[in-house]
Amino acid sequence: MGGSLKKPTLSHRLQVLGIRGAVGALRFVNLQRAGSVGAFLGKLAYRPFGIRRAVVERQIRAAFPGLDEPDVQRIALASYAHLGRISIEAALVPGYKHEMVAELFERVEGWDCFANSMNDMSGAMIVTGHLGNWELGGAYIGLRGSRMHAVARGMENPLFDEFITENRERLNVRVIHDSDAVRKVPRVVRQGGVVGFLFDQGAAGLASTWVPFFGRYAKTPRGPAVFALRLKAPLVFAVAIRQPAGRYVLHMENVPITDTGNVEADVDAIVAEYTRILERWVRKYPEQYFWQHRRWKHQRPGTPPELGDPS
């Protein structure tokens, strides 16, 4: 669905008031210290509070069978710390000057594969997953002069939805709500703009297919693949990975697109391809993946247990 039309409740108002208050307080410290606060809070969510801890550990075990339990817990704890850190960064960075945002990146790898696709004044599409700092990666692309848009789902809390949308647009990332995507994405791409998609969360109401992700079938949105074929537009995978020193490296690579004339088969092949690319990066940096989401929750009837949601 698109932007939430729900009337904010008292709980919604209190949640966003707390978030805005915390962000306001953290603006008085530098980003590294603020991120450390976020990492500490993230670790608390893992232990002692145990928020979705069983889900996270179960999915890590499923993705990396044979991994020792101490390593499962190490990756899980690091993923909570990472989520806390990037949540603070996403909230604070919109208040930064553009050159300060650019300085958060050590380098960009594969920018040419993206820039060259824009040479003929046509637009492009970017796909990514909940890995590294996806908000900051999109912001960097927008701040380098691309007319960056992001397709997003409306959130349960309409005030938080407004907060996130406001932050994205302050970083030159315009939001397209998914209910408007069919109408707006072609227009943006044909006018030379860039549209970004987060594709690694299956949801009700989204046209999806099931493709392997770490050996199990994951419900994955088909939208980026459908648009790529229909618009004959370049499709680029991008991910911003946090480095040990705290800055980021943005990696970009083309997603192969083959048009055989069999639309259904071609779409499924493209979805499988960008999912394979994401898996490759998650294997390298599992501590920076959003394991808190039940990636294999939605399954087709009859899926064997060993290929579906881990139990």
What pLDDT score was predicted for residue 93?
Answer: 87
Sorted by where each begins, the domain ranges of the chain are 10-307
What pLDDT score was predicted for residue 229?
Answer: 95
| Residue 28 CB partners (closer than 8 Å, separation 6+) | none
pLDDT tens by residue, 167-214: 888 888 999 988 899 999 999 999 999 999 999 987 766 789 999 999
Give the DSSP letter of residue 21.
H
Report strand pairing: 248-254 vs 235-242: antiparallel
What pLDDT score was predicted for residue 39?
Answer: 95
Helix/strand/coil for 56? helix
Tens of each residue's pLDDT in the chain, 311 residues: 344 457 888 887 877 787 778 777 888 888 889 999 999 999 999 999 999 999 999 999 999 999 999 999 999 999 999 999 999 998 888 888 888 889 999 999 999 888 887 765 678 999 999 999 999 999 999 888 788 999 988 777 778 788 888 888 888 899 998 889 999 999 999 999 999 999 998 776 678 999 999 999 999 999 999 999 999 999 999 999 999 999 999 999 999 999 999 999 999 999 999 999 999 999 999 999 999 999 999 988 899 988 999 97
Instruction: Establish how many alpha carbons lie within 13 A of residue 212's alpha carbon, considering only the half-sphere containing its beta carbon.
Output: 8
Instruction: In whole angstroms, give the CA distance from residue 242 to residue 226.
Output: 31
Quick check: 160 and 202 in contact, CB under 8 A?
Answer: no
